Chain A
Amino acid sequence: MSIIEVSDLSFGYSEAEVLQGLSFKVEQGCFLAIAGPNGAGKSTLLNLLSGILRPKAGTIRIAGAAIESYSVEALAEKIAVVRQEFVPVFGFSVIETVLMARTPYFGRMGFESKTDREIVRLALEATDTAQFSSRRVASLSGGERQRVFIARALAQNTAILLLDEPTSFLDLKHQVDIYDVLKAAQLEKGKTIVLVTHDINLAAQYADEILLLGVGRSYHIGPVDDILKTSRIEKVFSVKGFTGRVRNQSFFLPLGKFAKDRGAAQMPMQPRKSNPDNFPC
């Protein structure tokens, strides 16, 4: 069953068209990565899917109903959003921040119920943030902070998680940590994950499908291995490189003007049996 259906979607700022005639479906429980060059409209698409922006033309259906038919509160029961790395102005603690996800469910006096607290406890555990729940969000590292915002999104108890470049300022370890948390949410809780990213290799490792948005309003969507083709990636990102597979995972290696091309021709397109990690670089 498709939980997100986008039909003939167009959007533009002033006169500049950003998205044109975009159509795709996301199945329930799917992990979709949205990639593409700067200005292709990735974040715009996420803002359209989260109801922040309204389409110029076309329709977005969430769980079978037009997105416009949802109230703000009702949409927040379906979709949770994690934005780019963000440091809050005021010093809310981790648990206070995650509890905010339950704001629409607070009682008349503005306090959470026991159920809300239990949901928050599970979200903190799922993201491994319970250990610093009383610390201030602003005092955490970038990776820890993003895990807190993912915990907040999980505490909304929605079927869909939308994430806008959640790992853009993180080192490799913290990037992998975030993707692990998201994959667990997909596999263990059946969440539908839609994630905007610039890192197509990491996305290829975790996502089921990739939506590749190109400049010139072209787009491609499909399983990772179908989308990660050298000619397609080169064309969309205007960069030379090549695709390959290591440990049964597709990847794309870009080659800039001054890149050391040491034996791309000998690059094994399939991992060697003796040592699958033995990549000649």
Chain B
Amino acid sequence: MSAGEPLTAKKLAATIVSAIVIMLIVMFACSLVGPRVISFKAVFSPAGPVEAINPDYEIFVHVRLPRIILACLVGAALACSGVVFQALLRNPLADPYILGISSGAGLGAIVAVISGLNWTLWGRSPIAVFAFVGALGTVWLVWFIGRTTGRSNVTGLLLAGVVVNAFFSAVIMFLTSVAKSQDVHSTIFWLMGNMTEEDFFVLWVGAGSVLAGIVGLFYISPQLNALSFGADDARSMGVNTARTQMIAFAIAAAITAVAVSLSGLVGFVGLVVPHGVRLVFGPDHRQLLPVSAVAGAIFLVAADTLARTVVAPAQLPVGVVTAIVGGPFFLILLVKYTRRVGWLGK
């Protein structure tokens, strides 16, 4: 990596392959760590009689592997979504939840709990389904309100996000105060970040949709570079800004909604990972997006491993760990790289 030099396809390919290798190593290492330390050899060694259960194999395949895959796809989705929202809103403080996705998902989840629904859709509970619908519906509402203030009005979009967020938060508080305490407790716990998922079908569908979203975002990454200079500038450089903004918003909102419906609200990943990657690799979205996806996956796998080990056999909500670990980590990066290239690579 040489700061300031233009990116080449060869350099990008080398960076992505290196990042994926590191991710696989972290995934493998974290799958062996937990309240019960298991060894790779033990996982795949015969358990004795045919009907006997190999506990290491059971833990690895049915508990840790799905959890690690889930953390990977949620971390990748949130990090990429953060990159996109920061670019489109030209706001370093933007994160995947800035346009009201969190309150929309929360409202959806609370409504599902209060309604007492008891069915599953493709293996998902009503809470997850309603959270997904609430998240996407809120982004659409914010986008619709924001666009009425002007096609390229970023401030209008942000204000619409703040107002809708505040309104939905108030509705959540109201519903929380009238709902039964047990229902509310389970919903709040779910919203704090929940990395348990045993259904591989759900995981593969989630991973497929997140991967498709990341590929789609990569495809428009040169246009995102231009949009970082504002819609008018990008348009005068030949970028169809309306189309690019709509595609980017739709994909970022969709992958965030997928992440929220799978794991609740995991904070900090979408804010800290894009900045960390930007400080080290620069702001070019052709590199920033794929590297942030891998870095987000690594970050959340590591954070979730801490969440399930530090107070074992109990578990911490992963959002607590992402904030506690991510904050100082980000500060170290900030101090180290600000000395070299200035804040945000200036």
Q: Which residues of A pack against B, CB within 8 Å? A: 47, 50-52, 71-73, 75-77, 79-81, 83, 86, 88-97, 99-101, 103-104, 106, 109-112, 133-136, 138-139, 152, 156
Contacts and interface: CB of A to CB of B under 8 A. Distances in A.
B155 to A, nearest CB: 14
B284 A111 contact: no
Contacts of B235: 51-52, 72, 76
Nearest to A79: B236
B228 interface: yes
Nearest to A100: B226
Given A92-B225, A104-B239, A111-B286, 15 more contacts: A50-B236, A79-B236, A81-B233, A91-B283, A91-B341, A92-B228, A93-B282, A96-B7, A96-B225, A96-B282, A104-B238, A110-B286, A136-B346, A152-B237, A156-B237
A111 B9 contact: yes
Contact of B4 (A47, A90, A95): A95
A156 B241 CA distance: 17
Nearest to B228: A90
Interface stretch (B128-136, B166-174, B216-224): B216-224
B90 interface: yes
A136 B341 contact: yes
Given A104-B237, A110-B219, A136 B342 contact: yes
Most chain A CB within 10 A, of B219, B237, B239, B278, is at: B237
Nearest to B225: A100
21 contacts: A52-B232, A72-B240, A72-B241, A81-B236, A89-B228, A90-B278, A90-B344, A91-B341, A92-B283, A92-B284, A95-B4, A96-B6, A96-B283, A100-B226, A100-B237, A103-B237, A133-B4, A134-B4, A134-B5, A138-B344, A139-B346
B345 interface: yes
Contacts of A96: 4, 6-7, 225, 282-284
A99 B228 contact: no
B228 A110 contact: no
A138 to B, nearest CB: 4
A241 B120 CA distance: 81
B281 to A, nearest CB: 11
A51 B232 CA distance: 10
Interface of B: 2-9, 86-87, 90-92, 218-219, 221-223, 225-226, 228-230, 232-233, 235-241, 278, 282-284, 286, 341-342, 344-346
Nearest to A152: B237
A168 B252 CA distance: 38
A52 B225 CA distance: 19
B5 A95 contact: yes
Nearest to B12: A111
Contacts of A72: 235, 238-241
Nearest to B345: A91
A76 B4 contact: no
B222 A103 contact: yes
A95 B226 contact: no
Contacts of B4: 93-96, 133-136
Contacts of A81: 232-233, 236
A111 B3 contact: no
Contact of B236 (A76, A86, A99, A136): A76
A90 to B, nearest CB: 4
Given A96-B4, A96-B284, A80 B345 contact: no
Most chain B CB within 10 A, of A77, A88, A101, A106, is at: A88
B342 A139 contact: yes
A110 B237 contact: no
Top 5 closest A-B pairs, CB basis?
A91-B345, A76-B238, A134-B4, A93-B4, A104-B238
Nearest to A108: B219
Contacts of A83: 232-233
Given A90-B278, A91-B346, A111-B8, A73 B238 contact: yes
B91 A89 contact: yes
Contacts of A97: 229
A110 B221 contact: yes
A94 to B, nearest CB: 8
Given A88-B229, A109-B9, A138 B238 contact: no
B344 A91 contact: yes
Contact of A77 (B90, B218, B238): B238
Contacts of A52: 232, 235-236
B273 to A, nearest CB: 15
B282 A91 contact: yes
Contacts of A77: 238
Contacts of A50: 236
Contacts of A47: 232
Contacts of B6: 93, 95-96, 99, 112
A154 B17 CA distance: 36
A213 B342 CA distance: 43
B337 to A, nearest CB: 10
A273 to B, nearest CB: 48
